[in-house]
Each structure stands twice: as C-alpha cells, then as structure tokens.
Amino acid sequence: MTTLHVFALNTPVAVSHTNLTRQNGEAPDLPPLAAWLGVDALDTDQVELFPLENLGTMSLSDYIQLAFAPEESIPAEVRLRLDALSGAVLLVPDSAIAGDPIPGAEATHIADIVLAEADHSATLPKADAAPTPRPSLPQEPPRESVPPIALFALLGMAAFAALIVIFGWG
C-alpha cells in the first residue's frame, strides 16, 4: 500500500518541482525539504512541490485525483481541507521517505491518501516467441501475349482492305 502525504508549506515557496518540470529538464534549487519533514533522507525525484496558484482553476483535490489515482475517491472532509489551502503544497509518496515524517514549523500535515497500486499477482500465459508469418505479396498475373496467328490474321485483313480500296473492288 502506497500513501501520499500532503503537506501545506508555512514558508513562502515560489519554485515548482513536479513530474512535468522534471520531464522538461528543470532542476530548481529546492529548500531543505527533508529537514522540514523531519526525515533523514528524501527522494526528491518522487515528490511534487508547487505553489497552488499554478493549478489555475483546478482544485488540489481534483489534481490529486487525476495525477495520483487514489485507491478510493477522496472523502468529502479531506477534499474540503485540501481545497481550502493556499500558498504552496508538498506531495510526498511514502516511497520517497524512510520512516514517518515529523514536520517542523515549515510544513503542516494535511492528509494521507492511499494510492492505487498495480496488482502483479496474476500468472500470465507464456508468449509465443515464434515470428509471426507475414502474408506473401500478391503477384501480378502474367500478361497474355497476342498469339502470332492472330497477328497474322489482323495483318491479312488490313492488306485485304487496302487491296479493296486500291483496286476499287467492292
């Protein structure tokens, strides 16, 4: 079971450190987040830190619902607490920290949200490793050649027509 810990930051923070900013190659100078959470180590590649104004009109609870896929819908009382926040927020999956966070004055614990996890317990059938046969390309049918006898008959009729025209037979 993975849990997402949500913290409101009591210190003004203007930097954004999210999956999107990491994907874009941004590496901002982060405040001492591990110290703020009272943990020895924090894997900052798994956390999200951003001012709530970055969400625009989206609520924090909707963002968490969409971005982190909680196991169940977020309870109404937790939604109210999340959506009432202002300033900056820190989202920390428990896989990013060792032990339980004990936040100091810089952070306030708001909620813990259980996240859905993939179930890898199924036994899958072995895949067929043989290459898939490819259908052969359709071949053009051989062209029919004109038999020589037809060619000679055509030439003969043309010659006969020419004789009729020349000698006026007809």
Give the model confidence (pLDDT) of 62-115 as tens digits: 999 998 878 788 899 999 999 999 999 999 999 999 888 999 999 999 999 998
- What tokens does 64 get? 């968490």
Q: Which residues of 151-169 are buried (b: 16+ CB within 10 A; e: fewer)?
A: eeeeeeeeeeeeeeeeeee
Given a contact cutoff of 8 angstroms between Cβ atoms, the answer to whether 7 and 99 are in contact is: no
Kindly write down the DSSP assignment for every residue of 104-143, as one continuous string.
-TTEEEEEEEEEP-----PPPPPPP-SPPPPPPPPPPPPP
Task: Report domain extents, the chain.
Answer: 2-115
39: pLDDT strictly greater than 60: yes
pLDDT average, residue stretch 146-161: 77
The average confidence (pLDDT) of the chain is 86
Strands (E), 10-162: 48-51, 88-93, 107-115
- pTM score over 0.85: no
